Structure 1
Amino acid sequence: MRATFVLVPGAGGQAWYWHRLVPELERRGCAAVPVELPAADDAAGLPRYTQVVLDALGDTPTRPLVVVAQSMGGLTAPLVCTRVPVDLLVLLNAMVPRPGESGGEWWAATGQAEARAQAARDDGRPYDPDDLDAAFTHDVPAEVLAGGPAPADQSGTPFADPWPLDRWPDVPTRVLAGRDDRFFPVAFQRRVAAERLGLPVDEVPGGHLVALSRPAELAGRLVAYLDEL
Protein backbone atom coordinates (compact mmCIF):
# COMPACT_ATOMS: atom_id res chain seq x y z
CA MET A 1 0.00 0.00 0.00
CA ARG A 2 1.24 3.48 -0.88
CA ALA A 3 -0.56 5.21 2.00
CA THR A 4 -3.59 5.16 4.28
CA PHE A 5 -6.29 7.78 3.82
CA VAL A 6 -8.66 8.19 6.77
CA LEU A 7 -11.79 9.96 5.54
CA VAL A 8 -13.67 12.13 8.04
CA PRO A 9 -17.17 13.14 6.85
CA GLY A 10 -19.02 16.38 7.41
CA ALA A 11 -22.37 17.03 9.06
CA GLY A 12 -24.48 13.90 9.29
CA GLY A 13 -21.34 11.83 9.75
CA GLN A 14 -22.09 9.18 7.13
CA ALA A 15 -19.27 6.99 5.88
CA TRP A 16 -21.43 6.46 2.77
CA TYR A 17 -20.39 9.93 1.63
CA TRP A 18 -17.00 8.45 0.70
CA HIS A 19 -18.27 5.30 -1.03
CA ARG A 20 -17.32 6.46 -4.54
CA LEU A 21 -13.88 7.73 -3.47
CA VAL A 22 -12.78 4.58 -1.62
CA PRO A 23 -12.47 2.35 -4.72
CA GLU A 24 -10.70 5.15 -6.61
CA LEU A 25 -8.06 5.38 -3.89
CA GLU A 26 -7.75 1.61 -3.72
CA ARG A 27 -7.22 1.46 -7.50
CA ARG A 28 -4.32 3.82 -6.96
CA GLY A 29 -2.72 1.44 -4.46
CA CYS A 30 -3.87 3.09 -1.24
CA ALA A 31 -5.88 2.00 1.77
CA ALA A 32 -9.00 4.04 2.53
CA VAL A 33 -10.80 4.18 5.88
CA PRO A 34 -14.19 5.91 5.70
CA VAL A 35 -15.39 6.94 9.16
CA GLU A 36 -18.98 6.81 10.45
CA LEU A 37 -19.45 9.46 13.13
CA PRO A 38 -22.15 9.42 15.87
CA ALA A 39 -23.80 12.49 14.37
CA ALA A 40 -27.27 11.99 15.86
CA ASP A 41 -25.99 11.39 19.41
CA ASP A 42 -26.47 14.50 21.54
CA ALA A 43 -24.00 13.09 24.06
CA ALA A 44 -21.19 13.03 21.48
CA GLY A 45 -19.01 16.10 21.13
CA LEU A 46 -15.63 16.67 19.53
CA PRO A 47 -13.71 14.39 21.96
CA ARG A 48 -16.00 11.48 21.07
CA TYR A 49 -15.75 12.23 17.35
CA THR A 50 -11.97 12.22 17.65
CA GLN A 51 -11.96 8.87 19.44
CA VAL A 52 -14.26 7.34 16.81
CA VAL A 53 -11.77 8.32 14.10
CA LEU A 54 -8.90 6.85 16.11
CA ASP A 55 -10.83 3.62 16.67
CA ALA A 56 -11.50 3.34 12.94
CA LEU A 57 -7.79 3.67 12.23
CA GLY A 58 -6.73 0.84 14.50
CA ASP A 59 -3.26 0.40 15.91
CA THR A 60 -0.92 0.30 12.91
CA PRO A 61 -2.16 2.13 9.81
CA THR A 62 0.15 2.01 6.82
CA ARG A 63 2.27 5.14 6.56
CA PRO A 64 2.16 7.73 5.25
CA LEU A 65 -1.11 8.49 7.00
CA VAL A 66 -3.31 11.16 5.40
CA VAL A 67 -6.36 12.56 7.18
CA VAL A 68 -8.97 14.03 4.84
CA ALA A 69 -11.64 16.24 6.44
CA GLN A 70 -14.86 17.13 4.63
CA SER A 71 -16.73 20.31 5.69
CA MET A 72 -17.57 19.99 9.42
CA GLY A 73 -14.85 17.34 9.61
CA GLY A 74 -12.43 20.25 9.82
CA LEU A 75 -13.35 20.58 13.49
CA THR A 76 -12.33 17.00 14.29
CA ALA A 77 -9.44 16.15 11.97
CA PRO A 78 -6.84 18.48 13.55
CA LEU A 79 -7.61 16.91 16.93
CA VAL A 80 -6.82 13.49 15.45
CA CYS A 81 -3.46 14.90 14.36
CA THR A 82 -2.52 15.52 18.00
CA ARG A 83 -3.17 11.89 18.94
CA VAL A 84 -1.43 9.86 16.21
CA PRO A 85 1.45 10.55 13.81
CA VAL A 86 -0.16 12.08 10.72
CA ASP A 87 1.88 12.84 7.61
CA LEU A 88 -0.64 15.09 5.87
CA LEU A 89 -3.93 16.79 6.72
CA VAL A 90 -6.20 17.69 3.79
CA LEU A 91 -9.07 20.11 4.40
CA LEU A 92 -11.69 19.41 1.73
CA ASN A 93 -14.29 22.18 1.53
CA ALA A 94 -13.72 22.25 5.27
CA MET A 95 -14.30 24.48 8.26
CA VAL A 96 -11.09 25.99 9.67
CA PRO A 97 -11.59 26.78 13.37
CA ARG A 98 -9.62 29.15 15.56
CA PRO A 99 -8.58 28.28 19.12
CA GLY A 100 -11.50 28.65 21.50
CA GLU A 101 -14.01 29.27 18.71
CA SER A 102 -16.98 26.93 18.60
CA GLY A 103 -18.33 25.51 15.39
CA GLY A 104 -21.51 27.47 16.05
CA GLU A 105 -19.55 30.72 16.24
CA TRP A 106 -17.56 29.92 13.10
CA TRP A 107 -20.36 30.83 10.68
CA ALA A 108 -20.70 34.46 11.70
CA ALA A 109 -16.98 34.86 12.41
CA THR A 110 -16.09 33.86 8.86
CA GLY A 111 -19.02 35.55 7.10
CA GLN A 112 -20.07 32.31 5.42
CA ALA A 113 -23.71 33.30 4.82
CA GLU A 114 -22.77 36.57 3.15
CA ALA A 115 -20.14 34.82 1.02
CA ARG A 116 -22.66 32.20 -0.09
CA ALA A 117 -25.19 34.85 -1.10
CA GLN A 118 -22.57 36.93 -2.91
CA ALA A 119 -21.37 33.92 -4.89
CA ALA A 120 -24.92 33.32 -6.10
CA ARG A 121 -25.23 36.93 -7.21
CA ASP A 122 -21.87 36.77 -8.98
CA ASP A 123 -22.95 33.59 -10.79
CA GLY A 124 -26.38 34.98 -11.69
CA ARG A 125 -28.09 32.16 -9.79
CA PRO A 126 -31.29 32.43 -7.72
CA TYR A 127 -30.49 32.22 -4.04
CA ASP A 128 -32.55 30.67 -1.28
CA PRO A 129 -30.58 30.11 1.94
CA ASP A 130 -32.89 27.24 2.86
CA ASP A 131 -32.45 25.37 -0.44
CA LEU A 132 -29.81 22.91 0.70
CA ASP A 133 -30.24 20.73 -2.39
CA ALA A 134 -29.03 23.65 -4.51
CA ALA A 135 -26.14 24.17 -2.11
CA PHE A 136 -25.02 20.57 -1.72
CA THR A 137 -26.22 18.25 -4.48
CA HIS A 138 -26.52 20.38 -7.62
CA ASP A 139 -23.71 18.45 -9.34
CA VAL A 140 -24.19 14.99 -7.79
CA PRO A 141 -25.64 12.47 -10.28
CA ALA A 142 -29.27 11.65 -9.52
CA GLU A 143 -28.57 7.92 -9.58
CA VAL A 144 -25.91 8.34 -6.88
CA LEU A 145 -28.32 10.15 -4.60
CA ALA A 146 -31.09 7.64 -5.32
CA GLY A 147 -28.84 4.77 -4.23
CA GLY A 148 -27.82 6.35 -0.95
CA PRO A 149 -29.26 6.38 2.56
CA ALA A 150 -31.56 9.11 3.82
CA PRO A 151 -29.66 12.16 5.09
CA ALA A 152 -28.71 11.70 8.72
CA ASP A 153 -29.54 14.08 11.56
CA GLN A 154 -26.72 16.17 12.98
CA SER A 155 -26.66 16.98 16.68
CA GLY A 156 -25.69 20.49 17.65
CA THR A 157 -23.39 19.25 20.42
CA PRO A 158 -20.11 19.32 18.43
CA PHE A 159 -20.92 22.85 17.28
CA ALA A 160 -21.20 23.98 20.89
CA ASP A 161 -17.74 22.72 21.87
CA PRO A 162 -15.04 25.43 21.90
CA TRP A 163 -12.24 24.22 19.65
CA PRO A 164 -9.74 22.95 22.25
CA LEU A 165 -6.34 23.42 20.61
CA ASP A 166 -4.28 26.53 21.27
CA ARG A 167 -2.77 26.41 17.78
CA TRP A 168 -2.99 24.48 14.54
CA PRO A 169 -1.22 21.11 14.80
CA ASP A 170 2.31 20.90 13.45
CA VAL A 171 1.31 18.74 10.49
CA PRO A 172 1.66 19.56 6.78
CA THR A 173 -1.74 20.86 5.71
CA ARG A 174 -3.34 21.33 2.30
CA VAL A 175 -6.59 23.18 1.64
CA LEU A 176 -8.57 21.70 -1.25
CA ALA A 177 -11.77 23.21 -2.64
CA GLY A 178 -14.34 22.13 -5.16
CA ARG A 179 -14.36 25.00 -7.62
CA ASP A 180 -18.14 24.69 -8.01
CA ASP A 181 -18.87 24.67 -4.27
CA ARG A 182 -21.96 26.81 -3.62
CA PHE A 183 -22.01 26.33 0.17
CA PHE A 184 -18.39 27.29 0.86
CA PRO A 185 -17.55 29.23 -2.33
CA VAL A 186 -13.95 29.07 -3.49
CA ALA A 187 -13.32 32.80 -2.90
CA PHE A 188 -14.57 32.35 0.66
CA GLN A 189 -12.34 29.33 1.21
CA ARG A 190 -9.34 31.25 -0.13
CA ARG A 191 -9.94 34.11 2.29
CA VAL A 192 -10.46 31.85 5.32
CA ALA A 193 -7.40 29.71 4.52
CA ALA A 194 -5.23 32.79 4.08
CA GLU A 195 -6.47 34.51 7.23
CA ARG A 196 -6.44 31.50 9.51
CA LEU A 197 -3.68 29.26 8.16
CA GLY A 198 -1.64 31.43 5.81
CA LEU A 199 -2.17 28.80 3.12
CA PRO A 200 -3.29 28.85 -0.53
CA VAL A 201 -6.20 26.81 -1.83
CA ASP A 202 -5.92 24.07 -4.44
CA GLU A 203 -8.96 23.33 -6.60
CA VAL A 204 -10.63 20.29 -8.09
CA PRO A 205 -13.78 20.12 -10.23
CA GLY A 206 -16.98 19.64 -8.27
CA GLY A 207 -19.19 21.16 -5.62
CA HIS A 208 -19.40 20.85 -1.86
CA LEU A 209 -19.92 17.07 -2.01
CA VAL A 210 -17.08 16.49 -4.43
CA ALA A 211 -16.40 12.93 -3.25
CA LEU A 212 -19.85 12.04 -4.58
CA SER A 213 -19.76 14.11 -7.76
CA ARG A 214 -16.14 13.81 -8.96
CA PRO A 215 -14.45 10.94 -7.09
CA ALA A 216 -11.84 10.12 -9.75
CA GLU A 217 -10.58 13.69 -10.00
CA LEU A 218 -10.51 13.97 -6.22
CA ALA A 219 -8.59 10.71 -5.80
CA GLY A 220 -6.06 11.82 -8.37
CA ARG A 221 -5.39 15.04 -6.51
CA LEU A 222 -5.18 13.34 -3.11
CA VAL A 223 -2.71 10.72 -4.35
CA ALA A 224 -0.65 13.42 -6.08
CA TYR A 225 -0.12 15.02 -2.68
CA LEU A 226 1.85 11.92 -1.66
CA ASP A 227 4.61 12.95 -4.06
CA GLU A 228 5.08 16.14 -2.05
CA LEU A 229 5.76 14.37 1.25
Structure 2
Amino acid sequence: MTTFVLLHGSGDSGWAWHLVQRELQDLGHDAVAPDLPTDRADATWADVATAAAHAAGGAEDVVVVGHSAGGFAAPLAAGRLDARLVVHLAGLVPQPGESAADWFDHVGWTAVTDDGPAATYYHDVDPALAAEAMARERPTSERLGTEPWPGPPWPPERTRYVVTAHDRFLAPNLQRRVAADRLGITDPDELPAGHCAPLSRPAALAALLVGLAAA
Protein backbone atom coordinates (compact mmCIF):
# COMPACT_ATOMS: atom_id res chain seq x y z
CA MET A 1 0.00 0.00 0.00
CA THR A 2 1.29 3.42 -0.97
CA THR A 3 0.57 6.55 1.04
CA PHE A 4 -0.08 9.50 -1.25
CA VAL A 5 0.64 12.87 0.36
CA LEU A 6 -1.50 15.32 -1.61
CA LEU A 7 -0.45 18.96 -1.39
CA HIS A 8 -2.78 21.74 -2.45
CA GLY A 9 -1.90 24.92 -4.29
CA SER A 10 -2.25 28.60 -3.50
CA GLY A 11 -5.61 29.62 -2.03
CA ASP A 12 -6.72 26.03 -1.58
CA SER A 13 -6.92 23.62 1.36
CA GLY A 14 -6.74 19.88 1.73
CA TRP A 15 -10.44 19.76 0.83
CA ALA A 16 -9.49 20.30 -2.82
CA TRP A 17 -8.23 16.70 -2.84
CA HIS A 18 -11.17 15.02 -1.07
CA LEU A 19 -12.52 13.30 -4.20
CA VAL A 20 -9.09 11.98 -5.17
CA GLN A 21 -8.53 10.74 -1.62
CA ARG A 22 -11.71 8.69 -1.85
CA GLU A 23 -10.71 7.24 -5.21
CA LEU A 24 -7.22 6.32 -4.00
CA GLN A 25 -8.66 4.64 -0.93
CA ASP A 26 -11.07 2.67 -3.11
CA LEU A 27 -8.02 1.50 -5.09
CA GLY A 28 -6.44 0.13 -1.92
CA HIS A 29 -4.08 2.95 -0.99
CA ASP A 30 -3.86 5.55 1.74
CA ALA A 31 -4.06 9.26 1.02
CA VAL A 32 -3.63 12.33 3.20
CA ALA A 33 -4.31 15.90 2.19
CA PRO A 34 -3.29 18.32 4.95
CA ASP A 35 -4.29 21.94 5.24
CA LEU A 36 -0.89 23.53 4.71
CA PRO A 37 -0.17 26.72 6.70
CA THR A 38 -0.01 28.77 3.51
CA ASP A 39 -2.54 31.21 4.98
CA ARG A 40 -0.33 32.11 7.95
CA ALA A 41 1.44 35.44 7.64
CA ASP A 42 4.53 34.10 9.42
CA ALA A 43 4.71 30.72 7.64
CA THR A 44 7.93 29.69 5.91
CA TRP A 45 8.49 26.96 3.35
CA ALA A 46 10.06 24.94 6.17
CA ASP A 47 6.78 25.21 8.09
CA VAL A 48 4.85 24.04 5.06
CA ALA A 49 7.16 21.07 4.60
CA THR A 50 6.85 20.18 8.28
CA ALA A 51 3.04 20.16 8.08
CA ALA A 52 3.11 18.00 4.97
CA ALA A 53 5.58 15.52 6.45
CA HIS A 54 3.67 15.31 9.73
CA ALA A 55 0.49 14.36 7.86
CA ALA A 56 2.16 11.21 6.51
CA GLY A 57 2.17 9.78 10.02
CA GLY A 58 5.28 7.65 9.69
CA ALA A 59 4.29 5.95 6.43
CA GLU A 60 7.17 4.16 4.72
CA ASP A 61 6.05 3.90 1.08
CA VAL A 62 5.32 7.53 0.19
CA VAL A 63 4.51 9.38 -3.01
CA VAL A 64 4.19 13.17 -2.74
CA VAL A 65 1.92 14.99 -5.19
CA GLY A 66 2.08 18.77 -5.51
CA HIS A 67 -0.65 20.64 -7.37
CA SER A 68 0.18 24.05 -8.85
CA ALA A 69 2.02 26.07 -6.15
CA GLY A 70 2.10 22.86 -4.12
CA GLY A 71 5.05 22.12 -6.37
CA PHE A 72 7.15 24.37 -4.12
CA ALA A 73 6.24 22.27 -1.08
CA ALA A 74 6.39 18.80 -2.66
CA PRO A 75 10.20 18.36 -2.98
CA LEU A 76 10.75 19.72 0.53
CA ALA A 77 8.21 17.33 2.03
CA ALA A 78 9.57 14.46 -0.04
CA GLY A 79 13.05 15.04 1.34
CA ARG A 80 11.80 14.77 4.91
CA LEU A 81 9.78 11.65 4.13
CA ASP A 82 12.34 9.92 1.92
CA ALA A 83 9.56 9.61 -0.63
CA ARG A 84 10.22 7.41 -3.61
CA LEU A 85 8.42 9.71 -6.06
CA VAL A 86 7.33 13.31 -6.47
CA VAL A 87 4.53 14.06 -8.92
CA HIS A 88 3.96 17.61 -10.11
CA LEU A 89 0.37 18.18 -11.22
CA ALA A 90 0.31 21.37 -13.31
CA GLY A 91 3.13 22.18 -10.94
CA LEU A 92 5.33 25.17 -10.28
CA VAL A 93 8.73 23.47 -10.29
CA PRO A 94 11.11 25.67 -8.28
CA GLN A 95 14.82 26.26 -8.53
CA PRO A 96 17.01 26.94 -5.46
CA GLY A 97 16.77 30.55 -4.36
CA GLU A 98 13.77 31.31 -6.57
CA SER A 99 10.66 32.85 -5.05
CA ALA A 100 7.16 31.82 -6.03
CA ALA A 101 6.48 35.37 -7.23
CA ASP A 102 9.55 35.32 -9.47
CA TRP A 103 8.73 31.90 -10.89
CA PHE A 104 6.12 33.28 -13.26
CA ASP A 105 8.51 35.81 -14.82
CA HIS A 106 11.33 33.29 -15.00
CA VAL A 107 9.28 30.78 -17.00
CA GLY A 108 7.61 33.38 -19.24
CA TRP A 109 4.07 32.87 -17.94
CA THR A 110 1.22 34.76 -19.57
CA ALA A 111 -2.47 34.51 -18.72
CA VAL A 112 -4.50 32.21 -20.95
CA THR A 113 -7.75 33.89 -19.92
CA ASP A 114 -8.69 36.72 -17.58
CA ASP A 115 -12.42 35.97 -17.36
CA GLY A 116 -12.41 35.36 -13.61
CA PRO A 117 -11.79 32.31 -11.43
CA ALA A 118 -14.81 30.31 -12.60
CA ALA A 119 -13.68 30.46 -16.22
CA THR A 120 -9.95 30.26 -15.48
CA TYR A 121 -9.76 27.52 -12.86
CA TYR A 122 -13.11 25.73 -12.74
CA HIS A 123 -14.43 25.71 -16.29
CA ASP A 124 -14.63 21.90 -16.36
CA VAL A 125 -15.73 21.43 -12.74
CA ASP A 126 -19.35 20.79 -11.78
CA PRO A 127 -20.80 24.27 -11.05
CA ALA A 128 -21.97 23.39 -7.53
CA LEU A 129 -18.57 21.92 -6.68
CA ALA A 130 -16.82 24.94 -8.20
CA ALA A 131 -18.96 27.29 -6.11
CA GLU A 132 -18.04 25.38 -2.95
CA ALA A 133 -14.36 25.48 -3.88
CA MET A 134 -14.47 29.25 -4.36
CA ALA A 135 -16.32 29.69 -1.05
CA ARG A 136 -13.56 27.72 0.68
CA GLU A 137 -10.73 29.82 -0.76
CA ARG A 138 -8.08 30.84 1.78
CA PRO A 139 -5.64 33.76 1.63
CA THR A 140 -2.04 33.06 0.72
CA SER A 141 0.83 34.43 2.76
CA GLU A 142 2.80 37.22 1.10
CA ARG A 143 5.90 35.88 2.80
CA LEU A 144 5.67 32.58 0.94
CA GLY A 145 5.41 34.51 -2.30
CA THR A 146 8.70 36.30 -1.73
CA GLU A 147 10.76 33.84 0.34
CA PRO A 148 13.54 32.17 -1.70
CA TRP A 149 12.92 28.47 -2.13
CA PRO A 150 15.28 26.77 0.36
CA GLY A 151 15.56 23.24 -0.93
CA PRO A 152 17.97 21.36 -3.13
CA PRO A 153 16.43 20.09 -6.37
CA TRP A 154 14.63 16.77 -6.07
CA PRO A 155 16.25 14.06 -8.25
CA PRO A 156 14.66 14.13 -11.73
CA GLU A 157 14.77 10.33 -11.91
CA ARG A 158 12.34 10.27 -8.96
CA THR A 159 9.97 12.84 -10.43
CA ARG A 160 7.05 12.82 -12.84
CA TYR A 161 5.05 15.69 -14.29
CA VAL A 162 1.35 15.60 -15.20
CA VAL A 163 0.22 18.22 -17.70
CA THR A 164 -3.40 19.37 -17.43
CA ALA A 165 -4.11 19.57 -21.14
CA HIS A 166 -7.13 21.92 -20.93
CA ASP A 167 -5.56 24.31 -18.42
CA ARG A 168 -6.50 28.00 -18.72
CA PHE A 169 -4.16 29.20 -15.96
CA LEU A 170 -0.90 27.43 -16.79
CA ALA A 171 -0.91 26.87 -20.53
CA PRO A 172 -0.22 23.22 -21.41
CA ASN A 173 2.73 24.19 -23.62
CA LEU A 174 4.23 26.13 -20.72
CA GLN A 175 3.82 23.10 -18.45
CA ARG A 176 5.56 20.88 -20.99
CA ARG A 177 8.42 23.37 -21.26
CA VAL A 178 8.79 23.58 -17.48
CA ALA A 179 8.88 19.79 -17.26
CA ALA A 180 11.56 19.63 -19.96
CA ASP A 181 13.69 22.59 -18.89
CA ARG A 182 13.60 22.08 -15.12
CA LEU A 183 13.22 18.32 -14.77
CA GLY A 184 14.53 16.94 -18.05
CA ILE A 185 11.14 15.27 -18.60
CA THR A 186 10.33 15.34 -22.29
CA ASP A 187 7.51 12.81 -22.05
CA PRO A 188 5.21 14.14 -19.33
CA ASP A 189 1.96 12.40 -18.60
CA GLU A 190 -1.16 14.28 -19.63
CA LEU A 191 -4.68 14.48 -18.26
CA PRO A 192 -7.58 15.96 -20.28
CA ALA A 193 -8.55 18.43 -17.55
CA GLY A 194 -8.39 22.05 -16.55
CA HIS A 195 -6.24 23.44 -13.77
CA CYS A 196 -8.35 22.00 -10.96
CA ALA A 197 -8.12 18.38 -12.07
CA PRO A 198 -8.55 17.00 -8.52
CA LEU A 199 -12.12 18.28 -8.67
CA SER A 200 -12.92 17.77 -12.35
CA ARG A 201 -11.26 14.38 -13.02
CA PRO A 202 -10.69 12.69 -9.64
CA ALA A 203 -11.10 9.08 -10.80
CA ALA A 204 -8.83 9.50 -13.82
CA LEU A 205 -6.26 11.37 -11.75
CA ALA A 206 -6.26 8.73 -9.00
CA ALA A 207 -5.78 5.96 -11.56
CA LEU A 208 -2.92 7.86 -13.15
CA LEU A 209 -1.22 8.42 -9.78
CA VAL A 210 -1.51 4.74 -8.90
CA GLY A 211 -0.02 3.84 -12.28
CA LEU A 212 2.90 6.22 -11.76
CA ALA A 213 3.53 4.80 -8.30
CA ALA A 214 3.51 1.27 -9.65
CA ALA A 215 5.93 2.16 -12.43
Q: Same fold (TM over 0.5)?
A: yes
Residue of structure 2 in register with 1:4 after alignment: 3
CA distance in 1 between counterparts of 2:73 and 2:158 reads 16
1:160 aligns to what? 146
Match of 1:98 among 95, 98, 119: 95
RMSD: 1.6
Q: TM-score, normalised by structure 1?
A: 0.88
The structure with the larger Rg is: 1
Change (3 A) 1:166 1:88: closer
Trace 1:128-143 onto structure 2 (pairs within 5 A). Answer: 128=114, 131-143=116-128
Partners of 1:227 and 1:198 in 2: CA distance: 21
Q: CA deviation at 1:171?
A: 6.1
Question: How far has the Cα of 1:168 moved from its partner?
Answer: 2.9
Q: Name the aligned partner's letter for residue 74 of structure 1.
A: G
Q: Structure 1, unaligned stretches of length 5 or more? A: 118-126
The CA deviation at 1:150 is: 2.6
The match for 2:38 is 39
Partner Cα separation in structure 2 for residue 38 and residue 171 of structure 1: 29
Query: Residue 62 of structure 2 contacts residue 81 of structure 2 at CA under 8 Å; is this kept in 1?
Result: no
Q: Which position in structure 1 is the counterpart of 2:129?
A: 144
Partner of 2:13: 14
**Which residue number in structure 1 is paired with residue 190 of structure 2?**
203
**What amino acid sits opposite 2:124 in the alignment?**
D
Write the deviation string for residues 61-88 of structure 1: whole angstroms up to 9, x where unpaired: 1x42100000000111101122121011
Report how many aligned residue pairs link the two structures.
213
Deviation at 1:165, TM superposition (A): 2.4
Distance 1:42 1:94 in 2: 23
Amino acid at match of 1:218: L
